[in-house]
Amino acid sequence: MEARVTNHRSRISDENMNPDNPPRMAECRTLTTNEARAAGPIVRKFEAKDVEQVLSLAQKYTSWDATPTREDIEGFRYVNPEFFFVAEFNKRIVGFVYGRESNPPAEVLDKWKSRKVASVETLAVDEDCRRHGIATSLLTALFTEFKRNEVDLVTLSVPAGEKAARKMYGKMGFELRAQFLWKRLAS
């Protein structure tokens, strides 16, 4: 499955576009609308050759409680390879998302009025390429695949400090279901 990213915005004028010389990843943030159409990221399924670049993005942007390892990334494609997508731009991986089917007990499914649940496990987009709709395109591809697999409810956890992610999920229709609290006790 492959899809061009379609949601993007201009940061430099369209005259700067040169179709024979597509922008490098470092210039991702300066993509114009035309460039994004012509050379913008492609969302496709994860392939074995992507592991290094995905690992590097995961370690840079998703090391909240634990640093993801190569084994974690390789493990994704053994558990639910159909739910593992990358965004590729100029032969570089600039974002990825991985989802997994969850198996809550029947009673929980009943309460949640759901037949099949899956979660967004991890998602990141390179800092230079943000606000071009890449995460939205990755999630759209993932949700299409979820639906094809009869998933009707999606859950996820997001660190409270990740304001961009919280905004994005809100925009995509996610509702707050619980909050994880903590308090440090004085020794």
# residues near ligand COA by CB under 6 A: 20
- The answer to the question of residue 171 lying near ligand COA (CB under 6 A) is yes
Q: How far is the CB of 28 from ligand COA (least distance, A)?
A: 10
CA 184 to chain CA centroid, Å, is 32
- The answer to the question of residue 28 lying near ligand COA (CB under 6 A) is no
- The answer to the question of residue 118 lying near ligand COA (CB under 6 A) is no
Binding segment for ligand COA (CB under 6 A), chosen from 11-19, 27-35, 108-116, 118-126, is: 118-126
- The answer to the question of residue 167 lying near ligand COA (CB under 6 A) is yes
From CA 82, how far away is CA 66, in angstroms rounded? Answer: 24
- The answer to the question of residue 136 lying near ligand COA (CB under 6 A) is yes
Question: How many helices (DSSP H) and strands (DSSP E) are in the chain?
Answer: 6, 6
From CA 50, how far away is CA 20, in angstroms rounded? Answer: 25
Q: Are strands 117-125 and 153-155 parallel, antiparallel or unpaired?
A: parallel
